[in-house]
Amino acid sequence: MFSKQCFEIFEKSIADYHINDLVDQTISNPFDKKQIEHLLYHKNWIDTVQWHLEDLIRDPEIDPIEALKLKRTIDSSNQKRTDLVEFIDGYFLNKYKNVNPKNGATLNSETPAWAIDRLSILSLKIFHMKEEAHRKDANKQHLDSCKEKLTILKEQKIDLSTAIDQLIFDIESGNKCMKTYKQMKMYNDEELNPVLYNLKK
């Protein structure tokens, strides 16, 4: 199943990141650029780096200048994440371009890639909740709470994976139409963000 392949790639990306555990380390994608696996690995790597950037920026004693740098890095990361999701959806659009939707085929509120994006984030939640559930310096209440949350996250993984595979099957079989829209984020666009385009006046 495609969701299983995705999750295994996400787990590899997370494990590779945590070898050095540095937000500024260089990605070493093991997959060929022509493969969907390359996009999936790269997507999760961005999510993993951003997870740790979000941790850093929440330090109550962070230097304000450093916080601003981190915020801009996170904004840039969000744009790259969105771009990659759209690339992944492009893969599905191309793969199923010759599928003729059946009469009565419906649209899904979420594309395959945006559902896969949620699975990528979920893989990070599972990894870090597992760490918390086995923390040596934590008390029993914390450990028990995290183990309970981990159980729920694993159940969510099963449900989300099932939904992703069902959606892909429905697109393959013509029961669902696949349609995508660009996110059209405005805050990074110098022509659409008034703070940015007013600087040019």
User: How many helices and strands, by DSSP H and E, does the chain display?
Assistant: 6, 2
Range of the domain at 158: 2-200
pLDDT band, very low/low/confident/very high, at 201 (cuts 50, 70, 90): low
| pLDDT band at 184; cut points 50, 70, 90 | low
Structure tokens at 133: 């559930």
pLDDT score at 113: 97
Q: What is the pLDDT of residues 30-55, one digit of tens each?
A: 999 999 999 999 999 999 999 999 99
Q: Which of 90, 95, 68, 62 is nearest to 169 (CA)?
A: 95
In the chain, the amino acid numbered 153 is L
Smallest Cα–Cα separation from 167: which of 115, 126, 120? Answer: 115
Number of domains the chain is built from: 1
Asked if 196 contacts 190 with a C-beta cutoff of 8 angstroms, the reply is yes
> How many residues are present in the chain?
201
Residue 193: which pLDDT band, with cuts at 50, 70 and 90?
confident
List the one residue out of 176, 167, 132 whose CA is nearest residue 153: 132
Q: What is the pTM of this model?
A: 0.91
